[in-house]
Structures are given as structure tokens and as C-alpha cells.
Amino acid sequence: MTKAILLVSFGTTHPETRQKTIGACEQAIKEAFPQYAVYQAYTSTVVLRRIKENEGLEIPTVKQALEQMKDEGIREVYIQPLHIIAGSEFEKILNQSQEFQSYFDIIKVGQPLLHSEDDYQQVKQVLMDQYGHFGEKAATVLMGHGSQHNAFVAYAALDHMLTGSPVHIGCVESYPPVEQIEEKLKSKGIKEVHLAPFMLVAGEHATNDMVSDDEDSWNTYFSQRGYEVIPHLIGLGEYPAIQDMYIQHLHKIID
């Protein structure tokens, strides 16, 4: 087999969500492209180090995975990021894959989840289907990671497209901030807040920054303001519709 797909994610130190999300995406892509070998890599060096220390697992970086593929005789490489936005982690993939242009007959990189307007519309529909039906006094607040990269605007764009719905997107590390979302909920008389991650995995941020009882968690933030808080620890990678979007992105670079 000389054709291969390299699936690249940020990674997670939480084994239970890893299999449900990254593993589920990998399985869906293997089934969609049975004629391709499927490899995996992570972009977070911190996550890779912790997994090695805590679990004894060696997961490669993009560069290491491409070295392995070159050594194993792969000639065509199609890289599919499982990232949400085209931020700094996505740029790592572009930079590391650039070094290998001369080693393969074909090496192409697909787009992350949010790229085209159609991507945004599809994701909006997934979120509405999952979180848009909890009642008049309920709203869902999804926690995105956020970014200092200029691609952070993707979160605000999706939140804007959800205007008028009970679903909102906020970020733990950039814009839109949770305080701004709470102002909207207060003005609508919302009593019940459903919290869910807008991330591939329900990992560190979801368990600590979102649903924990820590003083600075979103769960504590909304609880202290009188809302009934209901958590949903489900990463985006668990949804077949999201898995299918990554498959669509792969088809675009393969076909």
C-alpha cells in the first residue's frame, strides 16, 4: 500500500475521551478510505510528553509520522487535521509537512473543521440538532478553546451565525468571553444552562475549566449567578456528522 492518510489532532491526555473522539474519527476514516493506510500524529508536544510519561505510549509528531511513512515506502500522503480552526496548531502541520515535499509524489493538507461557509452551516446544524431543544428557559453554552492566532475570529463568526438560537459559543482563552454570553442569557430570562465543549475531545479544558467546581470554572460562574447548570461531556469527535465533515475535507484533496 503506497497511499496513506495522516490524521493529525492536538491530542489529549484523557484516554477515555481519546478513544471516543480521535479514535472514532480514525475508525470512520478507515471505513471511508479502505484502500489507504491510516497513520496518526499529535501537534501538542506537552500532550505527547505527558502521554509518554503517564501511559508509556509513543505517539508521533507530524514530522516523525512523515519520516515513518517515507521509510515504509508511502508515495502519496493526504494529511487531514482534526483541528477546529486554522490557527497556530494547523500552521505547525503546514510547516512540518513542507519539509517533506520532495520525498513524496503527492503530499496535500486538508482543511480543519471550520473553513468554508458551508462548513460553518453544517456545524451550526449539528449544534442545533444536539443542543437546541432544551426548552424556552434553557440555553447551551459551548466552550471553545480560543486562540491568540488571528483565526480566533472563527468562534465569533459561528456564534454570530447562531444569533437568535438558544446555542452560544464562548472561548476559554479568547473572544467571545463567557461574561458576554451571560449578559445575553440574563436579558432572555434564561434559568437553565447546558455546558458542552466545542472541542474535538472532552479533555482537560472540559473537565477542569468547564464543569469542575473550581473557583474559575464556567460551571461555578453560572451556578453562582443562579442558573441551574447541566454538563454534557461530549467532544465534537463523537458526532458522526462531524466525522463525516472531516471525510468530506479529505475527499476534496484526494479527488
Residues that constitute the known binding site:
10, 85-92, 145, 173, 200-201, 205
Look up 145 and say whether it is catalytic: yes
What's the per-residue H, E or C state across the chain? CCEEEEEEECCCCCHHHHHHCHHHHHHHHHHHCCCCEEEEEECCHHHHHHHHHHHCCCCCCHHHHHHHHHHCCCCEEEEEECCCCCCHHHHHHHHHHHCCCCCCCEEEECCCCCCCHHHHHHHHHHHHHHHCCCCCCEEEEEEECCCCCHHHHHHHHHHHHCCCCCEEEEECCCCCCHHHHHHHHHHHCCCEEEEEECCCCCCHHHHHHHCCCCCCCHHHHHHHCCCEEEECCCCHHHCHHHHHHHHHHHHHHHC
Catalytic residue among 14, 83, 115, 145: 145
Annotated binding residues for substrate, written as ranges, equal: 85-92, 200-201
Binding residues for Co(2+): 10, 145, 173, 205
Q: List active site positions.
A: 145
